[in-house]
Amino acid sequence: MATAGDPQLVLDARAQLGEGAIWNDARQRLHWIDINGWRVFTYDPATGENHPGNVGQTVGTVVPRAGGGLMLALHEGFARFDPDTGRVTLLPRPPEHDPALVRFNDGKCDPAGRFWAGTMALVKGPKPLGRLHRLDADGTMHVMLRDVGTSNGIAWSLDRRTMYYIDTPLLRVDAFDYDDATGAIGNRRTVITIPPDIGRPDGSTLDAEGMLWIAMYNGWSVTRWNPLTGERLQTIRLPVARVTSCAFGGPDLDTLYLTSARTGLTDEQLAAQPLAGGLFQVKPGVRGVRAPAYQG
C-alpha cells in the first residue's frame, strides 16, 4: 500500500466539537458539524467555501438525503435540513428517546439507505442510557440497541452483510450480522479491541479494501484496522489530540477528511495544539467508498 502524506489543515475552524464528516457525492461537497456549536457546515473543496447553518440545538450527525437536502440527528430526534435556506423540519420523537436524559450523537446510512443514529447520556451516570435508533425510508423508527454508553462510529462491510459499531467507552469495535433487505442485526461479537493508551475510538469509515478507519479521540491520530483479524494496520498522526470523525471524499474518494475538537481542553493544552477544532485532510494511499444517502 502507498504511504500516507502528511495531514494538512483545510480549515482553521476552531470548532468546539467538530464531528460528522461525510462526503456528499451527488453535490461533491463535504458536510461536517460542530455538535456544541449547533452548526452544520457544507464545505466545497473546489472554492474553499465553508457554508454554515445554525440548526438551533446540538446536532449529532448529518447525512445526505436522496430526495435533496440533508438529514440530521438533532438533540431531540431526526430532522430534515435544507442547507440552502436553513430550514429545519423535526420528525416525530423517536421511541424511547428522552431528550432530558440523552442527546443524539454519531450515525450514518446503511447500504439500503436507512438512517441509523445513536444517543448518549447528557450526564455521565452508572447506567448506559443510550440507544441505537434506525429511521427507515418509510419514516418508521426502530430501537435497535439499548444500554449504549456513547454511540459512535458505524459502518457496513462491502458485501453488505456486516455492521461495525463503536460504543466508545467499551474501547472496541463490535460486528453484527446485518440483513440488507430488512435492516435486522444480530450475532454481536467483538472484532477489534482498542488498547487504552492509543485514545478512544470515535467516528469510523470503511475504505475500498474493506478496512476500517477510526478517529482516535485523545489519541492524536486516525488509525486503520483489519476488522477480519483485529490487527491495526496504520496510524496517521495529527497535530490535535481530539480527532473525532473521518470520511473519504473528493472526486476520486482518495482524500480522508478529519474533524477535531477543542472542547474540554485547558488553555495550556490549547496552546500546545492551536489547530484543535480544525478540519484536516490526508491522502492515505487508499480510496473510500460512497456514503449512502437516506432514501426517505
Q: Which residues bind Ca ion (CB under 5 A)?
A: 106, 152, 202-203
Residue nearest to Ca ion (CB): 106
CA–CA dist 127, 131 (Å, integer): 12
- Helix, strand, coil % in the chain, rounded to nearest 5: 5, 50, 45
Q: Which helix (H) or strand (E) holds 9?
A: strand 8-11
Residue 48 grid cell: 474553499
Q: Supply the minimum distance, in Å, between the C-beta of residue 151 and Ca ion.
A: 8
Tell me the DSSP string of 222-289: EEEEETTTTEEEEEEE-S-SBEEEEEEESTTS-EEEEEEB-TT--HHHHHH-TTTT-EEEE--SS-B-
- Distances in Å between the Cα of 22 and the Cα atoms of 249, 255, 258 are 8, 12, 10
Name residue, grid cell 460512497.
Answer: 290
Question: Which CB, 24 or 260, lies closer to Ca ion?
Answer: 260
Question: Which CB, 117 or 296, lies closer to Ca ion?
Answer: 117
Annotated active-site positions, please? 202
What single DSSP character describes residue 65?
Answer: B
Q: Supply the minimum distance, in Å, between the C-beta of residue 2 and Ca ion.
A: 28
CA–CA dist 259, 146 (Å, integer): 27
Question: Which CB, 136 or 202, lies closer to Ca ion?
Answer: 202
Q: Supply the minimum distance, in Å, between the C-beta of residue 238 and Ca ion.
A: 15
Residue 198 three-state SS:
helix
Q: Supply the minimum distance, in Å, between the C-beta of residue 61 and Ca ion.
A: 8
Question: Which CB, 106 or 136, lies closer to Ca ion?
Answer: 106
CA–CA dist 23, 246 (Å, integer): 10
Question: Which CB, 130 or 296, lies closer to Ca ion?
Answer: 130
